[in-house]
Structure 1
Amino acid sequence: MIDFANELRKAYSGDAWHGNNISTVIAVVKVGQAFAHPIPGAHSIAELVLHLSSWTEEVISRLSGNLPKEPSKGDWPAPLGQTETHWKAILTDFNRVNEDLLILVAQFSEEQWSAKLFTGPIPITTLSHFELLNGLIQHHAYHGGQIALLSKF
C-alpha cells in the first residue's frame, strides 16, 4: 500500500518529484515579493499562500467528517496587511495547517484511505479520503509552481 501521508509530506516539505516542495519555495520569498503583483490580474504570493492555507483547513475539516463547504476564511482571503509581521504570520499559519493535516492523516488506516467521504442516503461526493488528499497535493504543486514563477520578479 502506498504511504499517502508520506506523499503529502513530500509535497509540503520533503523530496517532491516535481521539484522544490512548497515549503522550500515560499521560504525564500522576501516580504516585498510576497505582496507584489508583478503580473497584472494575477494573485500575489501572499494571496496564493493564504488560499493554500484556507483550502488545507477545509480539507482537514472534510477528512474529519464535516460536510464540504467553502473554506471558513474564504476561497481567496485577503492579507490583513503587507508588513514583514503579516508575511511571517501567513507563513506560520501555512505551516501550522499543513502540520495539522500531516498529524491527522498519519493516523488513517488503509481502510480509511479508500473509504468514501460523506456516505449516506444521498452521497454528497464520491471522493475517497485518498482522492481528496491527492487533490490537495496537486493543488499545492500547482500553486507552488505559480509562487516559484512569481518569486523570480
Structure 2
Amino acid sequence: MSRKIVENIIVQLRDIQNGKTWYDDNLENKIEPISETQAFERPIPEVHSAAELIYHIWVWRMHAIKLLRGQESKLSIESPENWKSNEALKKMGWKKLKADLRESQTELIAFLSDKNDDYLENNTYKPNHALKYLVEGIIHHDLYHLGQIGITIKLLDMDR
C-alpha cells in the first residue's frame, strides 16, 4: 500500500508547525515571541487576536481528528466554539492555548502515521468528501490563519 500522500501530508503538517518553510516563519516561530498581554490584544476591532486565531486553528484540528477517527463532530462556522472571545480565552491562558495547539498537531500526525493513501482517498467523512480533502483543508486552514497571525503581529507592532 502506498503512503506517498500520507507522508507528504505529515511533512506539511510538521513544516507548518515547526519546520523549515520557504514562505515565512512557521507557527512556532510566529507565536513564541508573543507575550501573554499581546496574545489577547486585537490591533483593531475587526482583526482577531493571536489567541483567538490559535484557538480557532486548534478547534478545527480537533474537529478533523474526530472525523478522521469516525467520530461525530457538530462543529460548524456557526458554532459558538468556532470563535471564542478573548475574555473566555484569557481564562485558558496563553501557555495552555499554545500547548493545546502543539498537542493537536502531535495527535493528528500520530493518527496518520499508520495510515496509507487508500485510507485517505477511499473513506469519506461526508458524502463526496474523502478524508484526504479534510486533511488538505486543515493544512490550508492552518496556513491561512498563520498569515492572519502575521498581520495581527505587524499591526500590534505598528501601535507601539
* TM-score, length-scaled by structure 2: 0.81
Q: Which residue pairs with 1:82 in the alignment? A: 90
Contact 1:11–1:22 (Cα < 8 Å) also in 2: yes
- 1:106 alignment partner, one of 110, 113, 123: 113
- 1:90 CA drift (Å): 0.9
Contact 1:45–1:147 (Cα < 8 Å) also in 2: yes
Show the 5 A alignment for 1:59-98.
Answer: 59-70=64-75, 74-79=81-86, 80=88, 82=90, 86-98=93-105
Change in 2 beyond 3 A, CA 1:78/1:98: farther
Q: State the alpha-carbon separation in 2 of the partners of residues 148 and 130 from structure 1.
A: 27
Q: State the alpha-carbon separation in 1 of the partners of residues 84 and 69 from structure 2.
A: 23
For the aligned residues, what is the CA RMSD? 2.1
The Cα offsets for residues 50-103 of structure 1, whole Å up to 9 and x where unpaired, read as 1111111000000111234216871112343538x7111111111111111111
* TM-score, length-scaled by structure 1: 0.85
Q: State the alpha-carbon separation in 2 of the partners of residues 31 and 12 from structure 1.
A: 20
- 2:60 alignment partner, one of 20, 41, 55: 55
**Structure 1, unpaired ranges of 5+:** 119-123
Q: Which residue pairs with 2:147 in the alignment? A: 145
Which structure shows the bigger proportion of residues in helix conformation? 2
Equivalent AA in structure 2 for residue 125 of structure 1: P
Aligned: 1:30 with 2:35: yes
Change in 2 beyond 3 A, CA 1:16/1:95: same
Contact 1:54–1:73 (Cα < 8 Å) also in 2: no
Equivalent AA in structure 2 for residue 58 of structure 1: H
- 1:125 CA drift (Å): 3.0
Q: Which residue pairs with 1:5 in the alignment? A: 10
Q: State the alpha-carbon separation in 2 of the partners of residues 139 and 115 from structure 1.
A: 22
**Structure 2, unpaired ranges of 5+:** none
Q: State the alpha-carbon separation in 2 of the partners of residues 103 and 67 from structure 1.
A: 20
Q: State the alpha-carbon separation in 2 of the partners of residues 17 and 59 from structure 1.
A: 26
